[in-house]
Copies of this chain bind each other. A is one copy, B any other.
Amino acid sequence: MKAKTAHYTEIEPTRFDGGPAKGVDGRVLIGKADGAQNFCMRLFVVDPGGHTPKHSHGWEHEIFIHAGEGHMLLGGETRPVSAGAAVFIPPGMEHQIQNTGRQPLMVVCLVPAAAPEL
């Protein structure tokens, strides 16, 4: 199996803008196509004022905030997050991330192999 190195800007984004998402670019950084069998690394870039869908599902998220600041909705709670923060969202918990800052909010978000990659 081969190693992969790629800057996120080398990977074409998928735009999510409309319906439950607003102003979000999503990318699979490391996934099954690279040989990753156990979990998948994605990057979401959320525009100022934008947000991911408010939803829940049967798998967990492990998140690292690479840049920016925002609010994380976790069940009934809202918590501020900023660059350098880690977030664990257990399976089944409703969640959303909102960019409350002036810069892009950059969110590295990992899911187990059974979940959709994007």
A21 adjacent to chain B (CB < 8 Å):
no
What's the Cα separation between A79 and B6 when bound, in Å?
A: 10
Q: Is the CB of B3 within 8 A of A88?
A: yes
Number of chain A residues whose Cβ lies closer than 8 Å to a Cβ of chain B: 43
Hey, what's the 0/1 contact readout for A53-78 against B, CB within 8 Å counting as 1? 00000001010101000001011010
Number of copies: 2
Is B39 a contact partner of A84 (Cβ separation < 8 A)?
A: no
The answer to whether A2 touches B90 (Cβ under 8 A) is yes
Residue numbers of A with Cβ under 8 A of B are 1-9, 29-30, 34-39, 41, 43, 60, 62, 64, 66, 72, 74-75, 77, 79, 81-82, 84-91, 93, 95, 108, 110, 112
